[in-house]
């Protein structure tokens, strides 16, 4: 109930106006984002790299409504890729297709992404296309496959275990040797397309994770196991050890500000550990999805409100 309400509010412009004007919301949101500027994000990645963790940087912003905003976002990503290169950061970038104008024009979005991938290659890094709600899944996978077919081997994407279709998508993508980040799924989805029960999502996640790990072991793909769920992480540790899958054949991924201790523990054990580092002023929908994932975050938020 609470999750659905928060996810509804994450898309409501009236709620965005109210929440983003609260100083306290900004303070709490900063737990989940590295800051509002590129310089702050670069500094956060420097600290992660110094501790043996890698990163993927995300310029916050999604569902843009004007072409100029897509160009603005592209400029922000070019600047970010240059900063990754200039600072020698161990970092990739992540982006959302709706931030490049997918809702306005698929051609604009694809052309912009193609230019960014070429620039990322020059900077020696890759781009992961985040997965948005299920109305975008088909188009996202089509664009991902098209760019790979055009020779871009530095593009990766995301599959959400919550969706029924994902078991089939994972089988196909693993066969294609695609670079996949597997997550549970952060969006509100109807029961016609996604498992309503969390235990079913978790079980699907483990099945799909094993398909990706097996493919990686056979030299196809390099999966990102993106979760903070310790039971799943332990199963990944157990499964890879039992199958003899080397620690450099995959990586764990977590979000900035969540389970920092576990992130360092895994890196200390020799696993690849990549942290998703979002930054920028457009933090509202990202922040609301993080609140929805864990009711305790809402109480953290509310208690901070009363501490003003
Ligand atoms: P689960 O929700 O079961 O949480 C397990 C434990 O992790 C919790 O008990 C708690 O301890 C901790 N935890 C989880 N979320 C927390 C939070 N918000 N605050 C504090 N603690 C929390 N989704 C998507 O739809 N498209 C995408 O492209 C991505 N990309 C992505 C990248 C990376 C690197 C990660 C880690 C996640 C995503 N996600 C995503 C989000 C993902 O779908 C999912 O919503 C969150 O990771 C939460 O699910 P968990 O797997 O952590 O499990």
Distance of CA 293 to the CA centre of its chain: 14
Active site residue 139: no
DSSP category for residue 259: S
| Average pLDDT score, the chain | 94
Mean pLDDT of 24-43: 90
Catalytic residue among 130, 133, 169, 202: 130
Domain 2-305: which topology? TIM Barrel (3.20.20)
Q: Is there a contact between 55 and 275 (Cβ–Cβ < 8 Å)?
A: yes
**Global model pTM greater than 0.75:** yes
* pLDDT at residue number 307: 59
Task: Tell me how far apart the alpha carbons of residues 302 and 308 are, in angstroms, rounded to a whole number.
Answer: 10
* pLDDT at residue number 28: 82
Task: Tell me how far apart the alpha carbons of residues 129 and 140 are, in angstroms, rounded to a whole number.
Answer: 8
The rounded Å distance from CA 296 to ligand 1 centre is: 14
- Residue to mutate, 227, 278, 297, ligand 1, most ligand atoms under 8 Å from C-beta: 227
Give 43-73 pLDDT, tens digit per residue. 999 999 999 999 999 999 988 889 999 999 9
Instruction: Return the structure tokens found at 19.
Output: 């929440």
* pLDDT at residue number 295: 74
Mean pLDDT of 273-290: 92
* pLDDT at residue number 164: 98
For the Cβ of 294 lying below 6 angstroms from any atom of ligand 1, the answer is: yes
For the Cβ of 58 lying below 6 angstroms from any atom of ligand 1, the answer is: no
Ligand 1 atom with minimal separation from the 297 CA:
19
- Residue to mutate, 134, 293, 300, 301, ligand 1, most ligand atoms under 8 Å from C-beta: 293
Of 272 and 303, which is predicted with more confidence?
Answer: 272
Residue that the structure tokens 């992404």 belong to: 113
Residue that the structure tokens 């296309």 belong to: 129
pLDDT confidence tier of residue 179, bands split at 50, 70 and 90: very high
The helix/strand/coil state of 31 is: coil
Protein residue whose Cα sits closest to atom 13 of ligand 1:
228
For the Cβ of 233 lying below 6 angstroms from any atom of ligand 1, the answer is: no
* pLDDT at residue number 194: 98
Is the pLDDT at 81 greater than 90? The verdict is: yes
Question: In whole angstroms, how far apart are CA 97 and each of 159, 188, 236?
Answer: 14, 18, 30
Cβ burial, residue 144 (10 Å; 0-12/13-18/19+): buried
Ligand 1 atom with minimal separation from the 202 CA:
3
Of 10 and 47, which is predicted with more confidence?
Answer: 47
With CA atoms as reference, report the closest residue to 225 among 236, 214, 211: 236
Protein residue whose Cα sits closest to atom 30 of ligand 1:
130
The rounded Å distance from CA 187 to ligand 1 centre is: 11
Active site residue 130: yes
* pLDDT at residue number 304: 63
Give 88-144 pLDDT, tens digit per residue. 999 999 999 999 999 999 999 999 999 999 999 999 999 999 999 999 999 999 999
* pLDDT at residue number 30: 82
Q: Which residues contact 30 (CB under 8 A, 6 or more apart)?
A: none
* pLDDT at residue number 255: 97
Task: Tell me how far apart the alpha carbons of residues 135 and 118 are, in angstroms, rounded to a whole number.
Answer: 27
Is the pLDDT at 3 greater than 90? The verdict is: no
The rounded Å distance from CA 132 to ligand 1 centre is: 14
The rounded Å distance from CA 67 to ligand 1 centre is: 31
For the Cβ of 31 lying below 6 angstroms from any atom of ligand 1, the answer is: no
With CA atoms as reference, report the closest residue to 182 among 164, 200, 161: 161
Which residues pair with residue 158 across a beta bridge?
Answer: 181
């Amino acid at each position: 109930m609470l999750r659905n309400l928060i996810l509804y509010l994450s898309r409501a412009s009236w709620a965005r106006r109210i929440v983003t004007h609260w100083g306290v919301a900004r303070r709490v949101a900063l737990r989940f984002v590295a800051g509002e500027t590129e310089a702050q994000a670069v500094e956060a990645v420097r600290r992660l790299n110094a501790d043996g963790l890698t990163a993927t940087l995300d310029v916050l912003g999604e569902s843009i409504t004007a072409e100029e905003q897509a160009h603005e976002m592209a400029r922000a990503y070019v600047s970010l890729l240059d900063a990754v290169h200039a600072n020698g950061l161990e970092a990739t970038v992540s982006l959302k297709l709706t931030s490049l104008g997918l809702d306005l024009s698929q051609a604009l979005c694809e052309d912009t992404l193609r230019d960014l991938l070429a620039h990322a290659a020059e900077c020696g890094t890759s781009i992961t296309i985040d997965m948005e709600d299920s109305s975008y899944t088909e188009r996202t996978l089509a664009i991902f496959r098209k760019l790979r077919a055009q020779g871009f081997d530095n593009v990766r994407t995301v599959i959400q275990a919550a969706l029924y279709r994902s078991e089939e998508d994972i089988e196909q993508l693993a066969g294609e040797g695609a670079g996949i980040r597997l997550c549970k799924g952060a969006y509100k989805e109807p029961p016609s397309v996604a498992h309503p029960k969390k235990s079913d999502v978790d079980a699907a996640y483990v099945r799909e994770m094993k398909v990706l790990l097996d493919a990686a072991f056979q030299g196809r793909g390099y999966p990102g196991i993106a979760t903070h769920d310790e039971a799943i992480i332990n199963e990944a540790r157990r499964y890879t050890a039992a199958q003899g899958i080397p620690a450099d054949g995959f990586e764990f991924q977590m979000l900035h500000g969540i389970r920092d201790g576990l992130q360092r523990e895994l890196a200390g054990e020799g696993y690849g550990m990549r942290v998703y580092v979002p930054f920028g002023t457009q933090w509202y929908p990202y922040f609301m999805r993080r609140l929805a994932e864990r009711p305790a975050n809402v109480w953290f938020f509310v208690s901070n409100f009363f501490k003003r």
